[in-house]
Amino acid sequence: MAKALTAAQLLEYDGSDSGKPVYIAVKGTVYDVSAAREFYGKGGPYEAFAGRECARALAIMKVDMAECNDNLSDCTEKQLKTLDDWIAKFNTKYSVVGKLLPEGSKEALEADLALLRPSPFPPSFIATLVVVLFLTLLGGYVLFLDMQGPVPPNAHSEL
Ligand code: HEM
């Protein structure tokens, strides 16, 4: 299934953990570049790109983490063509993992919040638990009333 990753989630795949795949994003498309760990993994010549959106860096041909973003506003036609060539190469070489959620978008904020406050229990589990608890209490109460025996018809008339 295609994933939707935030920038923070993408950074988890920057190659620093050898047990995890290495991802890069280009114009919002996330590629699994694990097959080229020697390029993008720790100590590789292009490690700066790993775990990041690197459209700009690829367009202007700079291996510089500071240029890893999606700002193409000042790029020349030639640079945009260079970027398209990179994208064509990645599309044939790597599999697409999914999409990078635009920074500051509603989806990205929600996904990052969910990461900050992880609940071990899904809401459906909590709802079931509440219903079961309620039914148990109700059952107990009915049983209790049953043990008291029938209410005498004149129980209230004595007052
Ligand atoms: C002295 C300059 C450079 C040399 C000699 C060089 C050389 C190479 C070589 C030999 C490869 C492997 C190609 C392959 O096996 O497919 C490669 C890959 C690559 N180069 Fe460079 N490179 C240089 C500069 C740059 C710069 C400035 C960038 C900035 C965007 C860059 C980005 C890349 C990327 C992203 C790959 C990996 C492509 C892939 O995933 O297959 N290179 N480079």
The model's pTM is 0.76
Walk along the chain (159 residues) and give the pLDDT tens digit of each residue.
689 999 999 999 999 999 999 999 999 999 999 999 999 999 999 999 999 999 999 999 999 999 999 999 999 999 999 999 999 999 999 999 999 999 888 988 888 888 777 677 778 888 999 999 999 999 998 898 888 877 677 766 555
Which residues are paired to 98 by β-bridges? 3, 30
Domain extents for the chain? 3-116
**Ligand 1 pocket test target in 23, 63, 72 with most atoms within 8 Å of CB:** 63
What is the fold of 3-116?
Flavocytochrome B2; Chain A, domain 1 (3.10.120)
Give residue 49 CA to ligand 1 midpoint distance, Å.
Answer: 12
Cβ of 57 less than 6 Å from ligand 1: yes
Say how far apart CA 145 and CA 148 lie, in whole Å: 5
